[in-house]
């Protein structure tokens, strides 16, 4: 998967208010700034002297002109100059610009300073610098500047592995920008949030967020087409490929002649492969690979190699698949962290080696796969549970705050009643009423807290169950693929590992622990009412209680869907359920 850099749309263009600042500068100042830009583009000497002359001239003019000029010189140096010079002029501009008079310019200079730090490497200095940009943006009430600073900080936090704080920050930023009605800035925040969801493999949220972003933008803007590309990534992973094939060519045309053209075409080719239209996907992937190698984009090179290996394998051309599978495998295995791409590269390479008769090498790679699947399943489950934990904590805090506010209100009311010196009888009646109302509302709020807890536990149960079912499904597929390697080496060890993991009682024990927290005494109730129910039938009833599909139940129990059907029939007979009665309805009622 390829996620576009969040800062592409923010740092490659000058904002609208920056363009307006440039317009109000005198023709002489603009001419000199343009002269400096041409000098830097041509890599001539003495270019900085031109900007020094510009700033000397601006210093003789009103203070606002100097502030605007520092900003425009900073824009020029960020585009065409050297980073140390860029940073030096920014520091000079910050020291000479009166922030209280020109908070928006000061905010922008700090934001560009943070950008310089990000490119130069001193990460410890970035967040404090962005915070200063946010503070000055708030002083100036410049929602555009505030949002861009928030996005910049969120991007950094996400790259540092703190996605939760990054999303919270973007939510806070959106509350500021919504007041301004600046659709482009709102879209920029949504685009950034979508990228975070995408890199965390939360494709449903990513697709939803990108769709909302597209609705905010005009279809001739760069951000619209950047969003369209990343929306396509999420859609392809969700197997909703036809809309991608219909819409993505528009972004390809927009980025024609630029590097992003090949990124977009790679995802289009991926969509064709999903539909098994290999006559379209393979030539396009070969073109994208050649282009990515020419511009040296390692991520896109690896993705194209992996997709080509799979496409050639599906079209029974294992010999052509081999070099691509090997290249993807060698690139992905060097990653410091485990992800879906690493797993996919291992599996595809092992399959291709097996098809090319290199059974022993395929075995060596495949024996690591079950452990990788288990690790990825654990990572995904922990990520989901963490998300639900955060939701639960938020809901609980809301309920607690409401309870505290209610108590404070009632306390003030009680003091007021006493202060008014009402008749004793009325005072007593009022106090009784207040206490009664307080008790009722406290009961309601505490019930809300309990409901939030139960909701959280139910989410944990559902998440654990679905991830366990998915893991078993993947292991069953791997077992089948390993079985195809028989003949050249002993694959029994791998199959035994997979079988052991599929039958691991510890996994079921964890499921029971979650299940009993949500459905207290369910097993005890079933065993009291139906003492002849076997442990396996009790497992089936627990999964039916969760309203799982037959396929999900089959994966959980490590049997076929036909096996699930037969087990349901035996259970119906044992529970003496009539043909016109529902097994699920009975189980849910227990």
Q: What is the mean pLDDT of residues 349-361?
A: 85
Domain assignment present for 255: no
Query: Please, what's the largest Cα pairwise distance for the chain?
Result: 98
Both 493 and 526 in one domain: the answer is no
Same domain, 67 and 139: yes
Model confidence pLDDT, tens digit, residues 449-471: 555 555 555 556 565 565 666 66
CATH number at residue 550: 1.10.10.10
Among 131-145, 164-178, 219-233, the range of highest mean pLDDT: 219-233
Residue 322: which pLDDT band, with cuts at 50, 70 and 90? very high
The tally of domains found in the chain comes to 3
**Lowest mean pLDDT across 264-268, 327-331, 552-556:** 552-556
pLDDT over threshold 70, residue 136:
yes
| Cβ neighbours, 10 Å, residue 250 | 13
Q: What is the pLDDT at residue 425? A: 44
Q: Is the residue at 487 inside a domain? A: yes
Cα separation of the two ends of the chain: 45
* pLDDT at 210 (0 to 100): 93
Q: Are residues 444 and 569 in the same domain?
A: no
Average pLDDT of span 202-227: 89
Residues 473 and 568 in one domain: no
Structural domain includes residue 324: no
Residue 108 sits in the same domain as residue 196: yes
Tokens of 102: 């020109």
Could you tell me if residue 510 is inside a domain? no
Looking at the fold, whether 3 and 65 belong to one and the same domain comes out as yes
pLDDT at 246: 94
Domain end residue (candidates: 464, 498, 532): 498
Instruction: Report in angstroms the alpha-carbon separations of 390 from 159, 382, 385, 394, 468.
Output: 20, 12, 9, 6, 22
Predicted local confidence at residue 17, as pLDDT = 39
436 and 545, same structural domain? Answer: no
**What was the pLDDT predicted at 9?**
38
Least confident segment among 247-261, 268-282, 426-440, 552-566: 426-440
Can you tell me the mean pLDDT for 187-204?
Answer: 85
Q: How confident is the model at residue 267 (pLDDT cuts 50, 70, 90)?
A: very high
Query: What is the spatial distance between Cα 462 and Cα 469, in angstroms, rounded to a whole number?
Result: 11
In this structure, the answer to whether residues 53 and 164 fall within a common structural domain is yes
| Predicted pLDDT at 505 | 58
Backbone angles phi, psi at 484, to 5 degrees: -75, -15
467 and 549 part of one domain: no
* Residue 377 pLDDT grade (very low, low, confident, very high; cuts 50, 70, 90): low
Lowest pLDDT segment from 19-33, 330-344, 380-394: 380-394
Residue 502 predicted with pLDDT over 50:
yes
Same domain, 22 and 150: yes
Residues 485 and 581 in one domain: no
pLDDT at 340: 76
Distances (CA, A) of 43 to 30, 34, 48, 477: 20, 14, 11, 58
Asked if 489 and 541 sit in the same domain, the reply is no
CA distance 544 to 549: 8
- Whether residue 174 is predicted with pLDDT greater than 60 in this model: the reply is yes
Q: Which of 200, 217, 248 is the last residue of a domain?
A: 200
Q: Within a domain: residue 120?
A: yes
Mean pLDDT of 444-452: 58
Q: What is the mean pLDDT of residues 156-175?
A: 79
Query: 381 or 102: whose pLDDT is higher?
Result: 102
In a domain, 301, yes or no: no
Residue 244's pLDDT is 94
**Looking at residue 407, what is its pLDDT?**
58
CATH of residue 150: 1.25.40.10
Let me know if residue 84 belongs to a domain. yes
* End position of a domain, from candidates 148, 181, 200: 200
In a domain? residue 88: yes
Residue 420 has pLDDT above 60, yes or no: no
Domain that holds residue 16: 1-200
% of residues, the chain, pLDDT over 90: 14
Percent of the chain with pLDDT over 70: 71
Sign of CA dihedral 461, 463, 469, 472: negative
- Work out the average pLDDT over 92-99: 80
């Amino acid at each position: 998967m390829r996620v576009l850099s969040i800062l592409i749309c923010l740092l490659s263009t000058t904002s609208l208010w920056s363009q307006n600042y440039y317009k109000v500068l005198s023709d002489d100042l603009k001419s000199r700034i343009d002269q400096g830009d041409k000098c830097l583009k041509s890599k001539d000497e003495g270019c900085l002297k031109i900007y020094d002359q510009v700033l000397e001239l601006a210093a003789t003019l009103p203070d606002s002109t100097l502030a605007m000029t520092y900003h425009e010189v900073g824009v020029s140096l960020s585009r065409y100059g050297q980073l140390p010079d860029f940073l030096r002029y920014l520091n000079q501009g910050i020291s000479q610009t009166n922030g209280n008079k020109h908070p928006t310019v000061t905010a922008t200079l700090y934001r560009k300073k943070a950008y310089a730090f990000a490119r130069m490497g001193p990460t410890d200095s970035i967040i404090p610098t962005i915070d200063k940009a946010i503070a000055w943006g708030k002083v100036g009430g410049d929602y555009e500047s505030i949002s861009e600073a928030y996005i910049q900080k969120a991007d950094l936090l996400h790259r540092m592995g703190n996605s939760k704080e990054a999303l919270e920050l973007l939510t806070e930023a959106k509350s500021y920008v919504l007041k301004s009605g600046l659709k482009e800035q709102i879209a920029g925040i949504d685009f950034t949030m979508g990228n975070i969801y995408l890199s965390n493999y939360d494709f449903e949220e990513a697709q939803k967020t990108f769709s909302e972003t597209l609705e905010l933008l005009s279809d001739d803007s760069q951000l619209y087409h950047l969003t369209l590309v990343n929306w396509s990534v999420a859609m392809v992973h969700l197997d909703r490929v036809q809309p991608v094939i219909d819409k993505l060519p528009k972004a390809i045309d927009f980025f024609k002649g630029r590097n992003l053209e090949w990124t977009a075409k790679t995802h289009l080719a991926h969509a064709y492969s999903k539909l098994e239209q290999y006559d379209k996907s393979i030539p396009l992937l070969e073109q994208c690979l050649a282009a990515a190698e020419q511009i040296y984009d390692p991520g896109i090179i690896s993705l194209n190699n992996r997709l080509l290996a799979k496409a050639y394998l599906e079209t029974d051309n294992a010999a052509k698949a081999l070099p691509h599978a090997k290249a993807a495998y060698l690139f992905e295995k060097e990653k410091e962290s485990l992800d879906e791409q690493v797993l996919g590269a291992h599996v595809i390479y092992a399959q291709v080696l097996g098809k090319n008769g290199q059974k022993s090498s395929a075995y060596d790679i495949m024996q690591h796969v079950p452990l990788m699947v288990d690790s990825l399943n654990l990572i995904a489950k922990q990520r989901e549970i963490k998300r639900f934990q955060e939701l639960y904590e938020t809901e609980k805090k809301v309920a607690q705050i409401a309870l505290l506010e209610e108590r404070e209100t009632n306390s003030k009311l009680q003091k007021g009643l006493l202060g008014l010196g009402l008749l004793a009888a009325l005072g007593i009646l009022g106090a009784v009423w207040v206490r009664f109302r307080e008790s009722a509302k406290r009961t309601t709020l505490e019930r809300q807290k309990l409901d939030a807890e139960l909701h959280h536990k139910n989410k944990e149960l559902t998440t654990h169950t679905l991830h366990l079912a998915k893991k078993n499904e993947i292991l069953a597929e791997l077992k089948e693929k390993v079985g195809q390697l028989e003949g050249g080496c002993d694959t029994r060890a791998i199959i035994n590992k997979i079988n052991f993991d599929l039958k691991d009682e510890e996994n079921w024990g964890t499921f029971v622990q979650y299940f009993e927290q949500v459905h207290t005494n369910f097993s005890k109730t079933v065993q009291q009412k139906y003492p002849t129910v076997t442990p396996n039938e009790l497992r089936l009833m627990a999964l039916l209680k969760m309203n799982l599909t037959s396929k999900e139940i089959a994966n959980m129990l490590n049997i076929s869907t036909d096996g699930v059907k037969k087990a349901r029939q035996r259970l119906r007979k044992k529970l003496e359920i009539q043909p016109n009665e529902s097994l699920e309805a009975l189980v849910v009622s227990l």
